[in-house]
């Protein structure tokens, strides 16, 4: 056996894995973070220019989330049948086509809802978490914790860049459609990475688990109250986040803040999710996942309260850090606690139900928020409801110690 040749092959394989991880992280940033945070900027500018009401602003996000959520199982099947690389190529192509349609062919509200919902929704579904997670999990079979942490971190980094970048492009061009050309360029970069760098992982003959590393130790099922309590936490946090993504910029502009300042605050919120990710990673096991998730829900609720009062300068600078950090804790803590309460062979099915219900809740609030604003000219009642629901979720978690496995 040529030991040097074997060692060289292993080194090339290791280098290839990390190149693929970097490519998947970049593609996820473009196909998920940019539409979530960057599209909020361009859609707000578009709705203002077309003199549309806030219900339409919310309906754009609602349609997008419904397409993203309902096609997720199809994308999982596509990964199984065609591989991660081909699925990602399709998602990147949808991003390019969708952004060009939004820039050049959309001249009315129904066209905008159809294009943003269908094309950008498919881009987020095919080019987002499912295919990228499957690819990374397949290449890093033995140690998934660090690669997954890198993959998730790109969401915060992408959100930090997307909102101010697109806001600056729209402001300089005085044309909202120019913002969509940024998506076209980014989609082309993602497509090049998918074609030239990403490769499907080698087949091992065994299914790849891509739940949290370590698996679950509980015996929870969908009949277990602790499972539904965690899902409730995910739903109310997701609903508040969707309201912010759809209407946050408009709300801040109503308070008198300049569009570019509002966009920067949104980017800071996205970046601050990394603070929450770090806190739950560093202290979650020591403090207990249940208490950590409750703490994250409380911090998140406080962030929403600060947002509702962001006409005050101090609140305007404080809310994005608090809101982002709280959401970062809930984002990771909910899945970690769900895995702790669930046997490893049940986690994929139960987490799928949880994500689907979170998507439904997230899809509802943008339109409801816009409709309520059009009739009452304020977001405060719905924001207050989101605060109360997240605080209630935290209280139930703290009171429900006996429902959860020891050490959770």
Phi (first) and psi of residue 342, to 5 degrees: -125, 140
Tell me the pLDDT band of 296, cut-offs 50, 70 and 90: very high
- Nearest 10 degrees: Cα torsion 386, 392, 395, 396: -120
User: What length is written for the chain?
Assistant: 408
Residue with the larger pLDDT of the pair 175 and 331: 175
Tell me the pLDDT band of 43, cut-offs 50, 70 and 90: very high
Does residue 258 register a pLDDT over 60? yes
pLDDT score, position 7? 44
CA angle 338, 340, 345 (to 5 degrees): 85
**Residue 382, token pair as written in the block:** 């719905």
**123, 35 contact by CB (below 8 A):** yes
pLDDT score, position 403? 85
pLDDT score, position 2? 52
Average pLDDT rounded to a whole number, residues 322-350 = 81
Q: What is the pLDDT of residues 173-225, one digit of tens each?
A: 999 999 999 999 999 999 999 999 999 988 644 444 444 444 444 555 677 88
**320, 269 contact by CB (below 8 A):** yes
Cross-strand pairs, 47: none
- The count of C-alpha atoms lying within 13 angstroms of the C-alpha of 358, restricted to the half-sphere facing its C-beta, is 24
Residue with the larger pLDDT of the pair 78 and 386: 386
Does residue 3 register a pLDDT over 50? no
Residue with the larger pLDDT of the pair 215 and 397: 397
DSSP state of 342: B
pLDDT score, position 348? 59
Q: What is the pLDDT of residues 74-125, one digit of tens each?
A: 888 888 889 999 999 999 999 999 999 999 999 999 999 999 999 999 999 9
Which structural domains are found in the chain, ordered by start?
A: 18-200 (1.20.1250.20), 211-408 (1.20.1250.20)
Distance CA 176, CA 164 (A): 14
Residue with the larger pLDDT of the pair 82 and 347: 82
pLDDT score, position 159? 84
């Amino acid at each position: 056996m040529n030991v040097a040749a074997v060692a060289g092959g292993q080194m090339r394989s290791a280098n290839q894995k990390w190149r693929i991880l970097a490519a998947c992280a970049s593609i996820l940033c473009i196909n998920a973070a940019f539409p979530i945070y960057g599209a909020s900027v361009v859609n707000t500018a578009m709705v203002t220019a077309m003199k549309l009401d806030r219900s339409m602003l919310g309906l754009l996000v609602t349609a997008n989330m419904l397409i993203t959520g309902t096609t997720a199982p199809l994308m999982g099947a596509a990964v199984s049948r065609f591989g991660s690389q081909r699925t990602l190529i399709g998602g990147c192509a949808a991003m390019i086509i969708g952004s060009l349609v939004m820039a050049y062919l959309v001249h009315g509200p129904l066209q905008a809802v159809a294009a943003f919902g269908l094309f950008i929704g498919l881009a987020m579904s095919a080019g987002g978490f499912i295919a990228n997670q499957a690819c990374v999990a397949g290449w890093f079979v033995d140690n998934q914790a660090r690669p997954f942490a890198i993959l998730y971190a790109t969401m915060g980094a992408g959100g930090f860049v997307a909102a101010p970048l697109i806001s600056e492009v729209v402001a300089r061009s005085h044309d909202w459609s120019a913002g969509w050309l940024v998506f076209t360029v980014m989609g082309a970069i993602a497509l090049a990475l998918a074609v030239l760098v990403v490769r499907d992982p080698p087949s091992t003959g065994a299914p790849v688990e891509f739940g949290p590393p370590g698996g679950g130790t509980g015996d929870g099922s969908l009949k277990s109250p602790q499972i539904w309590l965690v899902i409730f936490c995910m739903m109310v946090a997701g609903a508040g986040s969707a309201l912010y993504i759809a209407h946050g910029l408009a709300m801040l502009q109503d308070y008198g803040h300049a569009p570019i300042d509002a966009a920067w605050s949104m980017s800071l919120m996205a970046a601050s999710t990394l603070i929450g990710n770090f806190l739950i990673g560093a202290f979650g096991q020591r403090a207990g996942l249940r208490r950590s998730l409750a703490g994250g829900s409380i911090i998140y609720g406080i962030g929403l309260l600060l947002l509702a009062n962001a006409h005050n300068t101090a609140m305007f600078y404080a809310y994005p850090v608090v809101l982002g950090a709280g959401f970062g804790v809930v984002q990771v803590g909910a899945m970690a606690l769900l895995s702790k309460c669930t046997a490893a062979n049940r986690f994929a099915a139960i987490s799928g139900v949880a994500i689907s219900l979170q998507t439904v809740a997230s899809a509802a609030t943008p339109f409801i928020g816009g409709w309520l604003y059009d009739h009452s000219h304020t977001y405060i009642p719905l924001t207050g409801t989101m605060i109360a629901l997240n605080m209630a979720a935290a209280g139930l978690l703290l009171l429900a110690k006996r429902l959860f496995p020891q050490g959770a």
